[in-house]
Structure 1
Amino acid sequence: MSSKVPDFLVHDDRDAVGVVVVEGVAAGGNLSGWVMDSDETISLAVNDPIPLGHKFALRDIRDGESVIKYGEDIGRAVTDIPKGDHVHVHNVKTSKW
């Protein structure tokens, strides 16, 4: 990891989402993130304000596609989710129900 504190974390190289670890992320913000699995730094612009602890799409996610976080399937997209969009209950539903 670089010496700069990351704005978001990605736990696994397979993850489709990053988790914001700072407050005040505004739409259009360019964020720096740390991929923990590979110890690399990535940058990505977000399209929406993203609250602390919330997820955003690292790539385009198609309607019906599994959403991967921590290398695990956490649910299914219920609509197309463009890269940089907030990922939450409005566009992802659990696969369990």
Structure 2
Amino acid sequence: MTVMHEIAHYLLLCVNGVKLQRNFNKQVVKAYCDPEWQAKCLAGEIMIPAHLVAGMDLFDVIEKCGVSRDAAVIRCAIYHNLMMIIQIMFWKEGR
């Protein structure tokens, strides 16, 4: 995941032209503006695509995607929380 994280930095900056958020004053930076957050998200999506996580448990993700337990836990949590939010949004009374 570390190599893909660094490649994600390169892709975001050099290929897509995403500007880095500089923070020398210890100000709070919105997550989506933080280059580390951006690189983690992109690397995670490249190595563990959401459509694969749908039918897998944690151990399947680790084995089939060749990632660490920590990376698999984060991606599974993100995917499953997203699915829960989508279900809540489309939930109708009486069901």
TM-score when normalising by structure 2: 0.22
Higher Rg of the two aligned structures: 2
Give the structure with the higher percent strand: 1
Give the structure with the higher percent helix: 2
TM-score when normalising by structure 1: 0.22
